[in-house]
Structure 1
Amino acid sequence: MIERYHIYCHIPFCKKRCPYCYFTAKFSEEEMINLDAMDEYVKAMKADIEKADFPDAVVTSIVCGGGTPSLLNERQLDTIIDAIRSKLPPDRFNGMEFMAYEVSPDTASEATLITFRNKGFNRVSIGAQSFVDEELKLLGRPYTREMIVKAAELVRKVNYDMLNIDLLIGIPGQTHDSVIQSIKDTVTIKPEHISVSLFYSSYPGGKEFVQKCEKRGKLIPYLSDKIQIYEDVCRILMDNGYVRVDNTVFSLPDYVFPYEKDAISETEPVLAFGPGSAGYWDNNRVRFTPPYINKYIEAPASVEEEITVDNYAFTIVWGHLNAYGKIEENVLEEKLGFNFEEVMRLEKDVNILLSVLIQENLVFRQDSAYILRPETLNRAIVLMHYIRDGWGYKLITAPEQTLNLN
């Protein structure tokens, strides 16, 4: 029985597709940059929300992700929020602790920030990725360091409760010094949350992007260098008063945002809407929407799929290790019906993941759980990312023609 859950609304539109982006790679570029279709898209999402079954449980948060949710105008935003409001008892909607969305620095106008704040949004995430102008240009980002700083200043002016800044480590051409500079610039702003993600290359177009960068002399840092960079980043954040929430998010004390940890574990209830979105649902099922924007506009519908060893074992193990620092055997037994040994025998990718962590002495077995060693946690996080990147682009929301199931 679901006791609490999050609501996630995916806004897949962007002004352009950035060549590094793991998440927008699932969409047709022609569809995702067609901003003229946003009105019809919002109408489809409204219909999708209105026909969905909302459980009788506490709603922890509403999150609008993307893509670029800040491209929504006030009328479109009202349509989505009012549809959600109509499905919830007033006390459930008004009692929500968090409403969050993502903004790109080039769309973070004061008017946009005020519009979202007036609708109840209290957390905003700025997708900076880097504070180094040369790196931003390589990533195809349409803004500069100065624009990131200005966006953060506007967030403070509009009085949001929480600001998150997204940073990316391991992109082509990045160096130890350039990463540390971005971290120091971020810490100077003092956001409540800092998300430090590691660059994935295993997405459609990722290999080509990396090769183009290499031809320009911009190389991905070696694994050993990436580990050292990540170690130093974590040290700087903790020296400045941040605490680790999970493998990605660092927070100032007392600024909790549970959606981040729940989403990365991929086994906490999320009622997700919009193509390319997904959420764990109903104990042993996952609810998702294929990433076809035009088809969704024509007939909005989600898909429910039973969780099995073949399609979800790696996701569960990897997600729990990253979100909670451990994977408990009873989780596998509850979700999949098998213990560690059986799952490792049945699913080679789980076998590879756990075998490497055991061999490298990065986990220990205790009370029917594999637990990441605190003293080598940062190294384990980078190594787990490396293994997942080699695992391939196996998002359940990826287009059928891009899924790598070998």
Structure 2
Amino acid sequence: MTSSHTVRPYQSYVYAYPHKTAYRPLTGHPVGRPALRELWAGERKDALSLYLHIPFCEVRCGFCNLFTRIGAPDELTTRYLDALDRQATAVRDALGDDEPVRFAAAAFGGGTPTFLTAPELERLCDIAEKRMGADLRSVPLSVETSPSTATADRLAVLADRGTTRISIGVQSFVDAEARAAVRPQRRAEVEAALERIRDARIPVLNIDLIYGIDGQTEDSWRSSLDAALAWQPEELYLYPLYVRPLTGLGRVGAEAAADAAWDEERLRLYRGGRDHLLAHGYEQVSMRMFRRGDAPRQGPDDYACQTDGMIGLGCGARSYTSRLHYSFDYAVEMREVRAIIDGYTATEDFSRAEVGRYVDGDEARRRHLLQSLLQAEGLQLAEYHERFGAAPGDDFPSELGLFEARGWLDGSAVASGLLRLSPEGLAHSDALGPELFSPAVRAAMAAYELK
């Protein structure tokens, strides 16, 4: 038996598969890049998800490797919204009118969507509604924000336009820890923002917290958790700190990323945080996500999109059809990010897919297994068999055998028709997820040139 403690627990946060670094320019199509109209022909369009990406932030946190830039000079937000409007028009045209097009969920992410002013947020909602046809007031709408941009006028727009969930990145209520994560904020500002969010009466509040910050202790971690719990958030996400290449922390902390003692410290903090939330009436939805026991459910949990039908608008957004995942180019380094955003705002023709990866039968199986298994409730064996005509154990005997040997599977779940992780398996989600990557995806990710 292989002990789970010999496995590096924090290898990669897997929230979508295949990973974006496995995408490549789509130049192999007979007539160049594939037309969106062709890609969406024959796809189900009665329960699509809509994601609008805003790649701007006031500051860039030291741990952040998201596609975003600091600030937006020279009316860049206006030009960006203009391009978003053009893209939405082209995408809605590509979806056609042969059958009803309906959106079942929507989200604004980033970056920081509330970097936009209140009038710009009105325009963003108009693009979703008037161009795409999404009825924001009748579907779950999730929006990300930050303490400094969660202003009363912006929140009023979001509440009026139907926002059902607001997610705020706090990371730590301890000022010294926020500084250590290169996140300049003061607790007083965070608390004031949370008060404004509660005053806006948006049904679901999510607070993001990070463990593993330099100088953080079990006591300080508990104090951050208690400070968050004081607001009775419907959801809490607990993220392990990662030190990634080309980020602020990545330039100074490469040694820490390879430190086994730091792995153990993060595992200890994770378990303490998990147990603390469970004791306070929260249920665990995934390694990261916890929901208050009496909170309303808002659409799919924690990126659990085994099904396809994702429409992403904006230069950092992904779109998923049943055969192809596609997006625009990706970068982390600030100069490269700025160049991609500038290219996006200058684009007139959004009728074709730029970069992506085709998802064949094997990859679709991996995606379904991976994204179901990383949810605490597990994978429905009958659902998998109905979709793929086989059992997960038939398709992935070596991977699942390895997970079982490590104690990562809950053997008692099979009787209920489930393939489910044990508590130890959930704790090692960031090691388990990458084990399910195909050799082809691994090779593409390894060959990807960071920029």
TM range (shorter): 0.7 to 0.9
For 1:361, the equivalent position in structure 2 comes to 407
For 2:179, the equivalent position in structure 1 comes to 137
Q: Letter of the aligned partner of 1:34 in structure 2?
A: A
Q: Do the aligned partners of residues 234 and 389 (structure 1) sit closer, same or farther apart at CA in structure 2, a change above 3 Å counting?
A: same
Q: Do the aligned partners of residues 268 and 135 (structure 1) sit closer, same or farther apart at CA in structure 2, a change above 3 Å counting?
A: farther
Q: Do the aligned partners of residues 6 and 306 (structure 1) sit closer, same or farther apart at CA in structure 2, a change above 3 Å counting?
A: same
Q: Do the aligned partners of residues 87 and 242 (structure 1) sit closer, same or farther apart at CA in structure 2, a change above 3 Å counting?
A: same
Instruction: Say whether the 8 Å CA contact 2:287–2:429 is kept in structure 1.
Output: no
Q: Letter of the aligned partner of 1:63 in structure 2?
A: A
Compare CA radii of gyration and give the structure with the larger one. Answer: 2
Q: Which stretch has the larger CA shift, 118-127 or 43-52? A: 118-127
Length-normalised TM-score, structure 2:
0.72
For 2:51, the equivalent position in structure 1 comes to 8
For 2:327, the equivalent position in structure 1 comes to 288
1:97-126 deviation line (CA, Å, top 9, x unaligned) = 322211110112222222322333232111
Counterparts in 2 of 1:102-121, with a 5 A limit?
Answer: 102-121=144-163
Once residues 176 and 96 of structure 1 are traced to their aligned partners in structure 2, the CA distance between those partners, rounded to angstroms, is 42
1:331 deviates by: 6.8
Q: Do the aligned partners of residues 368 and 240 (structure 1) sit closer, same or farther apart at CA in structure 2, a change above 3 Å counting?
A: closer
Which among 225, 236, 253 is matched to residue 194 of structure 1?
236
Which among 33, 41, 46 is matched to residue 80 of structure 2?
41
Count of aligned positions: 382
1:400 deviates by: 5.3
- 1:174 to 2:216 alignment: yes
Once residues 38 and 214 of structure 1 are traced to their aligned partners in structure 2, the CA distance between those partners, rounded to angstroms, is 34
**SS at structure 2 position matched to 1:106:** coil
1:388 deviates by: 4.9
Q: Letter of the aligned partner of 2:207 in structure 1?
A: I
1:328 deviates by: 5.5
1:6-50 deviation line (CA, Å, top 9, x unaligned) = 2110111112322201323xx5x5xx5434411111111111111
Q: Do the aligned partners of residues 175 and 167 (structure 1) sit closer, same or farther apart at CA in structure 2, a change above 3 Å counting?
A: same
For 2:196, the equivalent position in structure 1 comes to 154
Q: Do the aligned partners of residues 128 and 370 (structure 1) sit closer, same or farther apart at CA in structure 2, a change above 3 Å counting?
A: same
Which among 97, 115, 123 is matched to residue 71 of structure 1?
115
Once residues 42 and 309 of structure 1 are traced to their aligned partners in structure 2, the CA distance between those partners, rounded to angstroms, is 37
For 1:256, the equivalent position in structure 2 comes to 297
For 1:318, the equivalent position in structure 2 comes to 370
- 1:50 to 2:50 alignment: no
- 1:226 to 2:266 alignment: yes
1:261-287 deviation line (CA, Å, top 9, x unaligned) = 3x2445443211112212432x33324
| RCO higher in structure (CA 8 A, sep ≥6) | 2
Instruction: Say whether the 8 Å CA contact 1:172–1:220 is kept in structure 2.
Output: no
1:329-367 deviation line (CA, Å, top 9, x unaligned) = 67777888986467548xxxxx55x45422112214838
Q: Do the aligned partners of residues 250 and 182 (structure 1) sit closer, same or farther apart at CA in structure 2, a change above 3 Å counting?
A: same
Q: Do the aligned partners of residues 170 and 330 (structure 1) sit closer, same or farther apart at CA in structure 2, a change above 3 Å counting?
A: farther
Instruction: Say whether the 8 Å CA contact 1:289–1:397 is kept in structure 2.
Output: no
For 1:204, the equivalent position in structure 2 comes to 245
Once residues 319 and 45 of structure 1 are traced to their aligned partners in structure 2, the CA distance between those partners, rounded to angstroms, is 29
- 1:125 to 2:167 alignment: yes
Instruction: Say whether the 8 Å CA contact 1:108–1:151 is kept in structure 2.
Output: yes
Q: Letter of the aligned partner of 2:342 in structure 1?
A: N
Once residues 66 and 399 of structure 1 are traced to their aligned partners in structure 2, the CA distance between those partners, rounded to angstroms, is 26
1:146-204 deviation line (CA, Å, top 9, x unaligned) = 21111111111222222111112233443322222111111111111111222333x43
Q: Do the aligned partners of residues 52 and 226 (structure 1) sit closer, same or farther apart at CA in structure 2, a change above 3 Å counting?
A: same
Once residues 260 and 73 of structure 2 are traced to their aligned partners in structure 1, the CA distance between those partners, rounded to angstroms, is 33
Counterparts in 2 of 1:252-401, with a 5 A limit?
Answer: 252=292, 253-261=294-302, 263-265=303-305, 267-281=307-321, 283-291=322-330, 292-299=340-347, 300=350, 302-303=353-354, 305-308=357-360, 315-323=367-375, 325-327=377-379, 340=392, 344=396, 354-363=400-409, 364=411, 366=414, 371-373=419-421, 376-377=422-423, 379-388=424-433, 401=449
Q: Higher helix proportion, which one?
A: 1
Q: Letter of the aligned partner of 2:343 in structure 1?
A: K
1:255 deviates by: 1.5
Q: Do the aligned partners of residues 383 and 268 (structure 1) sit closer, same or farther apart at CA in structure 2, a change above 3 Å counting?
A: same
Once residues 445 and 193 of structure 2 are traced to their aligned partners in structure 1, the CA distance between those partners, rounded to angstroms, is 31
Please give the root-mean-square deviation of Cα atoms over the aligned residues, in Å.
3.7
Once residues 156 and 401 of structure 1 are traced to their aligned partners in structure 2, the CA distance between those partners, rounded to angstroms, is 43
**SS at structure 1 position matched to 2:60:** coil
Which among 24, 46, 63 is matched to residue 20 of structure 1?
63
1:230-272 deviation line (CA, Å, top 9, x unaligned) = 22212221222222233322222242122443x2445443211
Q: Letter of the aligned partner of 1:49 in structure 2?
A: A
1:386 deviates by: 3.6
1:210 deviates by: 5.1
**SS at structure 2 position matched to 1:257:** coil
1:322 deviates by: 1.5
Once residues 337 and 305 of structure 1 are traced to their aligned partners in structure 2, the CA distance between those partners, rounded to angstroms, is 24
Instruction: Say whether the 8 Å CA contact 1:125–1:164 is kept in structure 2.
Output: yes
Once residues 399 and 23 of structure 1 are traced to their aligned partners in structure 2, the CA distance between those partners, rounded to angstroms, is 20
**SS at structure 1 position matched to 2:141:** strand
* Uncovered stretches (5+) of structure 1, i.e. residues with no partner: 346-350
For 2:19, the equivalent position in structure 1 comes to none
For 1:247, the equivalent position in structure 2 comes to 287
Length-normalised TM-score, structure 1:
0.79
Instruction: Say whether the 8 Å CA contact 1:12–1:66 is kept in structure 2.
Output: yes
Instruction: Say whether the 8 Å CA contact 2:366–2:436 is kept in structure 1.
Output: no
Percent of residue pairs bearing the same amino acid type = 21
Q: Do the aligned partners of residues 2 and 72 (structure 1) sit closer, same or farther apart at CA in structure 2, a change above 3 Å counting?
A: same
1:96 deviates by: 2.0
